[in-house]
Amino acid sequence: MDSEQYPFLSGMKTGLPIALGYLPIAVAFGALAVQSGIQAETTVLMSLLVYAGASQFMAVGMLLSGAGALQIIAATFFLNLRHMIMSMVVSKNLPDSHFGWKALFSFGITDETFALLTFEGAKKGPSPSLPSVAGLLLSAYLAWVFGTVLGCLGSSIIPTRLSDSMVIGLYAMFIGLLIPNIRRSLKTGLIAGISMLFCYGFNTFLDQGWSIVLATIFGAAAGAAFLGERS
């Protein structure tokens, strides 16, 4: 397929590995949420409007523990705060476009799509076109929503142990995206390791949301120190 002639379809093809990785995790989320007593319509709406796997799993857990709405909203806000930073980075790499398009694209940024877009952007060559970025983000989004629907429909037949084990795929997929970039730059691996240690350390005395936010900030500072010479 000619990527220049069909950039949108080319972008969807690029995002296909992420979409395939999202399907079982979204199925697990849909099944777990419905098995936990959340209505199927509410579960699908979460995937349509929130579209953040870690936050959605956390929200379900907090609902089961009896947390209030304000606590869930605050925790989700801090957990997703990193998306603002990721969206700013991706926006700088996009060609000039209307603010509305960039705002729409920011909704589709996840850890995995961000990794793919920035890893591709680190290679020599022109910036990705808007249609190709749209195709990549849309393929991942549709897979997440579709997987959630399947999980809701199959919640009565999917064993809880199976849905629990499928969640591990989220971490395995991100590691799979990280490894190739570490092979190209050991500094990237060092920054990832430092961020992991920060998150582990903060998590010993803070909740998960604050731990991720602070680890992101300190990890970004470490990245700026180690990779500053590239800019």
Describe the crossing of helices 208-227 and 186-203 by its angle, rounded to 10 degrees.
Answer: 150
Q: Which of 48, 85, 79, 49 is nearest to 61 (CA)?
A: 79
Q: Which of 175, 211, 172 is nearest to 195 (CA)?
A: 211
Residue ranges of domains in the chain: 7-182, 185-231
Report pLDDT digits (tens) over 59-84: 887 787 677 777 778 778 877 877 88
* Lowest mean pLDDT, pick from 93-97, 178-182, 190-194, 221-225: 93-97
Share of the chain above pLDDT 90, in %: 23
Residue 144 pLDDT class (50, 70, 90 cuts) = very high
CA-to-CA dists, residue 55 to 66, 75, 101, 194, 210, angstroms:
16, 8, 24, 23, 13
Give the separation between CA 8 and CA 138, rounded to whole angstroms.
Answer: 10
Give the separation between CA 89 and CA 219, rounded to whole angstroms.
Answer: 15
Which pLDDT value is given to residue 218?
A: 84
pTM: 0.74
Which pLDDT value is given to residue 231?
A: 44
